Amino acid sequence: MEIENIVANTVYIKARESGGQKKGKSKKWKNYLQFPHYTQCLGLRSEITMSYGYIVEHQPIGKLLFQQFCEGNTQYFRCCKFLEKVDEYETTNHFRYQQPQGKLVPVLRRKVINDCIKTADDATHTEEPSSDIFAEAYKQIRANLAAEPFKEFLESMYFHRYLQWKWLEKRPVDKHTFRLYRVLGKGGFGEVCACQVRASGKMYALKKLEKKRVKKRHAETLSLNEKQILQRINSPFVVSLAYAYETKDALCLVLTLMNGGDLKFHLYTLSPGGFTEKRVQFYAAEITLGLQHLHRERILYRDLKPENILLDDFGHVRISDLGLAVELKENEPIKGRVGTVGYMAPEIVKNERYSYGVDWWGLGCLIYEMIEGKAPFRQRKEKVKREEVERRVREDQEKYSEKFTEASRTLCRGLLHKEPGFRLGCRRVGKSEEGADELKVHPFFSQSDAKTGREPVPWKKMEAGRLDPPFVPDPHSVYAKDVLDIEQFSTVKGVRLDATDNSFYDKFNTGSVSIPWQDEMISTECFQQLNVYCVNGLIVPDLRPDGGLAVAHNNANASKTGFFSKFFKRKLLLFKFKQLDPGFVIVFCEQALILSFSLFFCTCFSTHLARSNSTFTTSLTTSIAIDSSCLSVPIVAMGAHQMVRLHTSTAKARLVKHVVVSLFMTCATWTPPPITMVQWAQS
C-alpha cells in the first residue's frame, strides 16, 4: 500500500517539475496547436469585443501582438514602451534614480510634460515619491494608441494572428485534452486530481462533479453558479477556471493547481500554535485583495475558512471553492443560512438579511486563528453542539492572548463586531463593495512594527505579484493526504440520466476560458514558438491571402481522418486555363508529381484533341486525373452542372496512359495554354 502512494507521488512530482517545459508537452503538441488559414477565423470578429480595452488591455495574447505591431512604427513603439515603463515604475520594489533615455513621446502636450516635471520636483521633498506622477501622461498616451494605431492593427496580419489564436482557444475540450495524475482530495460531488494539458504541459487541478450525485442532490443550479462565477473572476488571489467540459459520467472544472496545500494543513500540521505576525499580515493582505476583487463583481463568498485558502508553488495564497458564492443585486441584501459552523457571521446565524459584511467577519475569524492557533469560537476537535457554537457567535466576546499586538487586536475586534453596521469593512455608506479600502489604512497593514518585523503593505506591488512571500513550499513535497487515506465516494443508486439533463450539461460544457488559456500559452512558451510570421523571407502560408487554401482545407479535416485515410488519401492539383471554357479543369495528384508532370502536356493535348473530336458531347469538357497510387487513371468528365467520374480498371488505365503518351509523341508541336489559377482540392 505504501508503495502505491510512493509511485503516485513520484509520477505526480515528475510531471509537476516538467510542467510547461518541452518535456512536459506531447510529441504532437504542434499538431494540437496548428493554425488554420486566417480566412477561416474572420467570422470570430462578430463574437469578440472589437475595442482597445478588450483586445489589448484584457487579452494577454492581444497585448503582445499589439506590441509586436507597434514595433514597426517608431512613434507607436515609443508610446507602448512609455506605458510599459510607467507600469513598471508604479509596481517596482524600490524607488531609485534612472538615467533619462532622451527618447521623447511626440504626442504628449507640453502642459502634461510640465505637470509631470512639477510633480516630480514636489516629490523630492517627501520621504517616498508619489507613484502617480505620470497619471495624466499615461491617460493621454493610452488614448492616442486606442485611436489610429489600433485601427491600423485591426487591418494588419497581427490581428489575423490574434484571430487564429482565438480560433484555437475556442476549440472543443474533452478528456483527451489532459493527462490525469494522483487524487489530491475530494469535493462535495467528486474527487479532485492533478492533470496536465497535453499540448502545453501546463499542470492544473481537475475537480469532478459526478452527474448522478449532482442530480440526486438537485445541485444543478449550485454547480452551474460556481462555474459561471469562476469564469467571470480573473484575480491572482482567487483560484481561476481554465477549462470546463463534460465526460460520460462527470462535469469537470479545470482549476489553478495550488501545490502548497491549504492553510489548515500548514496551521495545524506544520506550524502548530500559529504563524508569525509578519506571515499573518501577508496572507491577510492577499485574502483582502481577493475579497475586494470578488466584491467589485458583486460576488459574496460566504465560506472563508483555513481549508479554503490554498498556497501555490511560490507561497502566494488564493481563495478557493466558490460553491457557496452568490451574486448580489445592487444595494440589495440577501438571506440564507449557509457557511461553516464557527465561521458564520451573527446575522447569518440569526437568519437575518446580510451583505458583504459576512465576508469581513470570516476574515476576522481567519486572522484570529492564524495568530492564536485556534478558532475564536470553537477549539479544534472540540466536541460541542452546533447550537452552542452559534450561541457563542451571537453572545460571547472572543478572548485575546499575549500573541496579539495592539494592531492585530484592534483589527480582529473591528472585523468581529457583532453589529454589521459597525464592523470594519462595512462603514462606508453607499459603497459597501469597497470595504477593503477601510482595511488597507488600518495600522496592521499601514504601519511598521520593529518587534514583529511587520512593514506597511505596498498594495500596488502586492497586486502585481512583486512581493516575496514569507514562506515558500518545498517543491519536492506533496502537501496532500496519502492516496489511500482519501475516502472514496460510494456508488450513487436510484438516479438515471436522460435527455432532459442535456440542456444543463450544454451550459456547463463551454471549453477553455479566455484569459487563463492565453496565459497558459504564454507561460509555457507555446506562444513564443508558434508565433512565426516569416520563413525564409516569405510570409507563412496561413497568413498569405493567396497561399493558404490548402492549409485551411487540410486543417479543417485533419482531426477527422484516421491513419489509413491519411496514408491513402489523394490530393489533386487543379489547373485552369485561359483559352478553354471557364468550367474546364486539368487534374493532377500531389503524391504522383513525377508521373503527373511527365504527363502534363500529354493530358493537355489529349483533352484539347478530345474537344474537337465529334465523339465527345460538346456540353462536357474532359480531363485526365492521375491518382496517388499511379495504378489507375480515372477519367473525369466536368460540365457546368455536374461532374461524372468513371473509374477504370488497372488494365484500362494503362491503356489510357499509353494512348495519351502516343498522342503526345505524334503531335509534339502543340503548345499548352498558360495557367491562370492554381488551387488544391481533396479527392
Reduced to 3 states (helix: H, G, I; strand: E, B; else coil), residue 292 is: helix
| Separation CA 38–CA 51 (nearest Å) | 20
Distant-in-sequence, close-in-space partners of 392: CB < 8 Å, separation ≥ 6: 377, 378
Across 72-88, b (16+ Cβ under 10 Å) vs e yields: eeeebebbbbbbeebee
Q: Pick the catalytic residue: 115, 122, 174, 303?
A: 303
| Separation CA 541–CA 572 (nearest Å) | 18
Cβ atoms of 275 and 538 closer than 8 Å? no
- In the residue annotation, 303 being an active-site residue is answered as yes
Q: Record the cell numbers describing residue 469, joined without a space.
A: 512571500
Phi-psi region of 580 (alpha: psi -120 to 50; beta: other; left: phi over 0): beta
Q: Are strands 643-646 and 203-210 parallel, antiparallel or unpaired?
A: unpaired
Cβ atoms of 585 and 576 closer than 8 Å? yes
**Which among 302, 321, 258, 230 is positioned nearest to 508, based on CA atoms?**
230
Across 475-513, b (16+ Cβ under 10 Å) vs e yields: eeebbbebbeebeeeeebeeeeeeeeeeebeeebbbebb
What are the Cα distances from residue 513, in Å, to 164, 210, 291, 297, 321?
16, 21, 21, 17, 18
| Separation CA 444–CA 364 (nearest Å) | 13
**What angle separates helix 135-145 from helix 110-123, to the nearest 10 degrees?**
150
Q: Is 216 annotated as a binding residue?
A: yes
Distant-in-sequence, close-in-space partners of 569: CB < 8 Å, separation ≥ 6: 561, 628, 682, 683
Distant-in-sequence, close-in-space partners of 632: CB < 8 Å, separation ≥ 6: 647, 648, 649, 650, 653
Half-sphere exposure (CA, 13 Å, Cβ side) for 51? 7
Active-site residue set: 303
- Which residues carry a binding-site annotation? 216
- Which residues carry a binding-site annotation for ATP? 216
